[in-house]
Amino acid sequence: MLSPTGWWLGVKPVDLRCGIDRLLGTIAALGHDAREGGAYVFRNRSGNRIKVVCVDAQGVWLCVRRLHEGTFHWPRADEAAWSLSPEQFAWLAAGVDWQRLSRDVGALPKFV
């Protein structure tokens, strides 16, 4: 069963025709060690497909998800990778705007 130690989001789009070896190389280029058990999520340029790579003691998981309509909500940042909570990943995989749902309510402006 897939049970990663953490979730990481590769911000830049990736050619999803590539396989496990190239994605593992991309993870290494981000400065992470895939053998530590984290799951790494990558998306294509159009934003309607993601691939998840996770290494465990028995091998490598490679999961693909495609939305029939719409796109996955992705951050716009200068960082190469973002850390996600399991709940944020579940929202992301469902096609929901996980950044909006996980926003700190205390930081919103208060209207009187």
Global pTM value: 0.80
pLDDT in the model for residue 105: 47
pLDDT tens digits, one per residue of 6-61? 999 988 999 999 999 999 999 999 899 999 999 999 999 999 999 999 999 889 99
Q: Which burial class, exposed, middle or buried, applies to 43 when counting CB atoms under 10 A from its CB (0-12, 13-18, 19+)? A: buried
CB 82 within 8 A of CB 11: yes
pLDDT in the model for residue 108: 46
* Domain map (residue ranges) of the chain: 7-107
pLDDT tens digits, one per residue of 67-96? 999 898 888 767 677 888 888 888 888 888
pLDDT in the model for residue 101: 67
